[in-house]
A and B are shown apart, each in its own frame.
Chain A
């Protein structure tokens, strides 16, 4: 194999903004190659979407482009990378910064200054720009990301979407020819996601080369090309039309296909859908009989069975209001009751009071007014030993609770705190580790598990307390599609065996496909509490919550129905062929 330097001498085609040639990389602490002979080019102004399961090498590839790999995270590197025809070998990360802008998932860790204007100036200071030149670039950079007028704001006071846009502005100010975005929206709420994707579209119009790593295939539909990585190898590099119709390939690579394509595929139509209208046209084109369905405008909602509310509620929240000392009201007179075995989703924008409500239910916060009843008893009068088995809470980030040296110890921590006998602790650990599929990892170090495994471990560690209600805050954030499905299969199984489930989620398809009841929060008030189909049928509610229905649902409404998943819609349509 040629050395990096030798390959660098061979000139790359100068027409490409970026050219990656035969890049392989193995991390120092790993035996498996993270990237294997990866080659592709990015034309000027082109947008490439990079997809793949966790560990497929997406982030490693991104880091190669500005030499964080192998400069910062060391290992065995071979191959060559050219930016506008120049080899980047032997350059430092900091020297590539003005040419390749990098935006990371963790927006908190990308902000270093006390005001937005400074933040944008920061990167320019580092490359030693003159003061006048910096001043001239700040305003356009902020305008490009829609943060003009925010110059004097403290970045820590911005919303997630604004923070991420601020981070993009600061790399934009260096006027790079390429911007690489590594899962820029994973930790954002729907509004933030929409803001960032709208910004990505604008950047594209400005002629910037873009490489976007993203799990949500719907957002990459308009990309020029999609690259799918599997175990460090490129298994597809083609236009979205060609990639998003190869269902076997997507499945094997752990990539969730766009909802519209999924419906078409289930109906045996092998075309790529550009939009809801396009998908509709394809379907009625193939099955003209279905055309009449859409014309009978009355929604023939697929009627659900109404959940029985005869059982005594497990949790009853009565007229609860809450605010932090000297703070504004966070919750205003909330009533909520959760019956045993329910599957409920709490949705709403950030700051709408979702998490506060959950924290009141589990007792991390005490209501200022009103009361919370567990099994008919006021929780204020109960001890923690009595309340813990009732309701458990899994935090969004599993790393906020994992601390033990082994998986088994982590799970045993809760039961031990309640002074359960050693054999009972042992029995429960076995039981819950089997339930979450981590029995073989008993003696492993939790910090070496994958994100999906750590998330399941966090669930296991509260399940060991045998709660009757399990609250999960964003249980699938940061997981790839395969891990998401696995996580939700676990949650569904728990629900089937009698545990009531509450998920706090921003992910529309997750809510649509799994929850049976939806509670919509807005500015501390409960705006809606009802059946999931009712929620997705109401335009007013959806608009008010900035919740975009899953594509299959949007398409189903075109046919005058209301389906919650691609499978449901496809089945419904097939019945009517």
Chain B
């Protein structure tokens, strides 16, 4: 599957200055970062869906629809286990844990620890659902932002955008080249899998780790091919004047228009809006108790929050 899926189009998103596009990607990541509450994540999500329709990037979203669904679902389920706060709505019995006892032979202090002998259950709280859905949405929106960006930005624009944002040309070019290489490697990997299958190799044997190990007969040829291809590319690049002492020019003129400035300002507002959601506590999870506006960084806030609330793991497995 080609990773780079640029879709030709004439939308505003296509025509906006490349530097604005790269900045937009940054702002979307920034906005998602500050907000946890699914409701507060909604505006950005809806904005992106509208953009997907308007730009014609929809086919790429449609292609990834299952991936989006699985991403949200698995993340939500995972957080049901790890985020245990609030009052349980219901409990789901998972399995019966046999009774075990471990004796620690410490002479006079010898004692026995017993555990198990009960059903392990997961208690689902309203907060854990909200938090889980929020986390799922966050990941989905990060993915959506990337898909939107890649669907409307040419490789060349990526390089130009980065260089206008003061990223060195070579670095910007390397990033955009990586996308092209990835597509080439994807093709050769498919052929290699076929070749090894025909030699009787079964990729689907054993557990997850065994399966990963079983990809060595694919990984080695892909890697060796990658080295060879990269070498060929490097030679072809040099032969086209790459690495010349002069500063490269750009064929396409990207004049900064009023609409670009407007878009830039809009993005700053969008970023500021999401920071405000965090700052006022509206973007946080939980009953609408406004968080005290504090200058403590987000991470620190989260951590102090956790330590203040009930311990996470101990309470997660309740005795029936």
Interface residues in chain A, defined as those with a beta carbon under 8 Å from any beta carbon in chain B: 63, 66, 68, 71-72, 92-95, 97-98, 101-102, 104, 106, 108-110, 112-115, 117-118, 121-131, 134-135, 152, 156, 167, 170-171, 174, 359, 362, 364, 384-385, 388, 392-393, 395, 397, 399-403, 413-414, 417-418, 447, 461-462, 465
Which B237-263 residues sit within 8 Å CB-CB of chain A?
237-253
Rounded to whole angstroms, the CA-CA distance of A131 and B200 in the bound complex is 56
A106 CB to closest chain B CB (Å) equals 5
Q: Are A104 and B188 in contact (CB under 8 A)?
A: no
Q: Are B245 and A401 in contact (CB under 8 A)?
A: no
B229 part of interface (Cβ distance < 8 Å)? yes
10 A-B residue pairs with Cβ-Cβ distance under 8 Å, sorted by A, are A72-B238, A97-B239, A126-B244, A126-B248, A135-B251, A171-B240, A364-B194, A364-B198, A403-B216, A465-B199
Chain B positions within 8 Å of A364 at CB level: 194, 197-198
B225 part of interface (Cβ distance < 8 Å)? yes
> With A109-B232, A399-B221 in contact, do A127 and B244 touch (Cβ < 8 Å)?
yes
Chain A positions within 8 Å of B8 at CB level: 152
B164 part of interface (Cβ distance < 8 Å)? no
Q: Are B6 and A462 in contact (CB under 8 A)?
A: no
Residue of B nearest to A97 (CB): B241
Which B212-249 residues sit within 8 Å CB-CB of chain A?
216-221, 224-225, 228-229, 232-249
Rounded to whole angstroms, the CA-CA distance of A101 and B236 in the bound complex is 10
Q: List the 3 closest A-B pairs by CB distance, nearest first.
A: A417-B200, A126-B241, A121-B251
Q: Are B6 and A68 in contact (CB under 8 A)?
A: no
The residue that B200 contacts in the complex, of A114, A388, A399, with Cβ under 8 A, is A388
Q: Are A131 and B249 in contact (CB under 8 A)?
A: yes
B231 CB to closest chain A CB (Å) equals 9
Chain A positions within 8 Å of B6 at CB level: 114
Q: Are B217 and A403 in contact (CB under 8 A)?
A: yes
The residue that A68 contacts in the complex, of B154, B180, B238, with Cβ under 8 A, is B238
Chain A positions within 8 Å of B240 at CB level: 97, 122-123, 126, 170-171, 174
> With A118-B251, A128-B246, A131-B253 in contact, do A97 and B198 touch (Cβ < 8 Å)?
no
* Interface size in chain B (residues, C-beta < 8 A): 53
Q: Are B220 and A403 in contact (CB under 8 A)?
A: yes
B236 CB to closest chain A CB (Å) equals 4
The residue that B224 contacts in the complex, of A97, A108, A134, A447, with Cβ under 8 A, is A447
Q: Are B249 and A125 in contact (CB under 8 A)?
A: yes
Chain B positions within 8 Å of A108 at CB level: 184, 229
Q: Are A127 and B225 in contact (CB under 8 A)?
A: no
0/1 interface trace, chain B 148-169, chain A, CB 8 Å (1 if under): 0000001110000000000000
B11 part of interface (Cβ distance < 8 Å)? no
Q: Are B243 and A400 in contact (CB under 8 A)?
A: no
Residue of A nearest to B244 (CB): A94
Rounded to whole angstroms, the CA-CA distance of A102 and B235 in the bound complex is 9
Chain A positions within 8 Å of B156 at CB level: 113-114, 118
Residue of A nearest to B189 (CB): A400
B177 part of interface (Cβ distance < 8 Å)? yes
Chain B positions within 8 Å of A401 at CB level: 192, 195-196, 199, 221
Rounded to whole angstroms, the CA-CA distance of A92 and B218 in the bound complex is 37
A-B contact count (CB 8 A): 167
Chain A positions within 8 Å of B251 at CB level: 117-118, 121-122, 124-125, 131, 134-135
Q: Are A104 and B236 in contact (CB under 8 A)?
A: yes
The residue that A400 contacts in the complex, of B184, B195, B219, with Cβ under 8 A, is B195
Interface residues in chain B, defined as those with a beta carbon under 8 Å from any beta carbon in chain A: 6, 8, 154-156, 177, 180, 183-184, 188, 191-192, 194-202, 216-221, 224-225, 228-229, 232-253
Rounded to whole angstroms, the CA-CA distance of A68 and B238 in the bound complex is 8
Chain A positions within 8 Å of B200 at CB level: 384-385, 388, 414, 417-418, 465
A159 CB to closest chain B CB (Å) equals 16
Most B C-beta atoms less than 10 A away, residue of A98, A122, A392, A393: A122
Q: Are B228 and A399 in contact (CB under 8 A)?
A: yes
The residue that A92 contacts in the complex, of B234, B245, B249, with Cβ under 8 A, is B245
Chain A positions within 8 Å of B238 at CB level: 68, 71-72, 93-94, 97
> With A97-B239, A97-B241 in contact, do A125 and B229 touch (Cβ < 8 Å)?
no
Q: Are B242 and A126 in contact (CB under 8 A)?
A: yes
Chain A positions within 8 Å of B245 at CB level: 92, 94-95
Chain A positions within 8 Å of B252 at CB level: 118
The residue that A110 contacts in the complex, of B224, B236, B249, with Cβ under 8 A, is B236
Chain A positions within 8 Å of B244 at CB level: 92, 94-95, 97, 126-128
Rounded to whole angstroms, the CA-CA distance of A409 and B276 in the bound complex is 62
Q: Are A94 and B195 in contact (CB under 8 A)?
A: no
Rounded to whole angstroms, the CA-CA distance of A117 and B252 in the bound complex is 10
B184 CB to closest chain A CB (Å) equals 6
Chain B positions within 8 Å of A114 at CB level: 6, 154-156
Rounded to whole angstroms, the CA-CA distance of A16 and B238 in the bound complex is 25
Residue of B nearest to A124 (CB): B251
Q: Are A413 and B217 in contact (CB under 8 A)?
A: yes
B2 CB to closest chain A CB (Å) equals 8
Chain A positions within 8 Å of B184 at CB level: 108
Chain A positions within 8 Å of B154 at CB level: 114-115, 118
A479 CB to closest chain B CB (Å) equals 17
The residue that A392 contacts in the complex, of B183, B198, B219, B232, with Cβ under 8 A, is B198
Q: Are B229 and A106 in contact (CB under 8 A)?
A: yes
Q: Are B248 and A400 in contact (CB under 8 A)?
A: no
Chain B positions within 8 Å of A113 at CB level: 155-156
The residue that B221 contacts in the complex, of A92, A122, A388, A400, with Cβ under 8 A, is A400
Q: Are A104 and B235 in contact (CB under 8 A)?
A: yes
Chain A positions within 8 Å of B235 at CB level: 63, 68, 72, 102, 104
A92 CB to closest chain B CB (Å) equals 7
Q: Are B239 and A68 in contact (CB under 8 A)?
A: yes
Q: Are B249 and A94 in contact (CB under 8 A)?
A: no
Given contacts A97-B238, A392-B198, 14 further A-B contacts (CB under 8 A): A68-B235, A72-B238, A95-B245, A97-B239, A112-B233, A114-B6, A114-B156, A122-B240, A123-B241, A126-B248, A134-B249, A364-B198, A395-B191, A413-B201
B219 CB to closest chain A CB (Å) equals 8
Residue of A nearest to B234 (CB): A72
Q: Are A129 and B249 in contact (CB under 8 A)?
A: yes
Rounded to whole angstroms, the CA-CA distance of A457 and B234 in the bound complex is 29
Q: Are B232 and A127 in contact (CB under 8 A)?
A: no
Rounded to whole angstroms, the CA-CA distance of A93 and B228 in the bound complex is 19
Q: Are B202 and A109 in contact (CB under 8 A)?
A: no
Q: Are A93 and B239 in contact (CB under 8 A)?
A: yes
> With A109-B233, A125-B251 in contact, do A388 and B241 touch (Cβ < 8 Å)?
no
B175 CB to closest chain A CB (Å) equals 13
A393 CB to closest chain B CB (Å) equals 5
Residue of A nearest to B250 (CB): A125
Rounded to whole angstroms, the CA-CA distance of A72 and B199 in the bound complex is 38
Rounded to whole angstroms, the CA-CA distance of A156 and B177 in the bound complex is 14
Rounded to whole angstroms, the CA-CA distance of A46 and B239 in the bound complex is 21
Chain B positions within 8 Å of A118 at CB level: 154, 156, 251-252
Rounded to whole angstroms, the CA-CA distance of A102 and B232 in the bound complex is 12
Rounded to whole angstroms, the CA-CA distance of A124 and B246 in the bound complex is 11
A88 CB to closest chain B CB (Å) equals 14
A344 CB to closest chain B CB (Å) equals 19
Rounded to whole angstroms, the CA-CA distance of A156 and B154 in the bound complex is 14
A415 CB to closest chain B CB (Å) equals 8
The residue that A402 contacts in the complex, of B202, B221, B241, with Cβ under 8 A, is B221
B302 CB to closest chain A CB (Å) equals 41
Rounded to whole angstroms, the CA-CA distance of A129 and B177 in the bound complex is 22
Q: Are A104 and B232 in contact (CB under 8 A)?
A: yes
> With A94-B238, A94-B242, A114-B155 in contact, do A400 and B192 touch (Cβ < 8 Å)?
yes
The residue that A461 contacts in the complex, of B199, B202, B228, with Cβ under 8 A, is B199
Residue of A nearest to B2 (CB): A156
Q: Are B253 and A395 in contact (CB under 8 A)?
A: no
> With A400-B225, A417-B202 in contact, do A395 and B195 touch (Cβ < 8 Å)?
yes
Q: Are A102 and B239 in contact (CB under 8 A)?
A: yes
B49 CB to closest chain A CB (Å) equals 24
Q: Are B229 and A109 in contact (CB under 8 A)?
A: yes
Rounded to whole angstroms, the CA-CA distance of A68 and B183 in the bound complex is 26
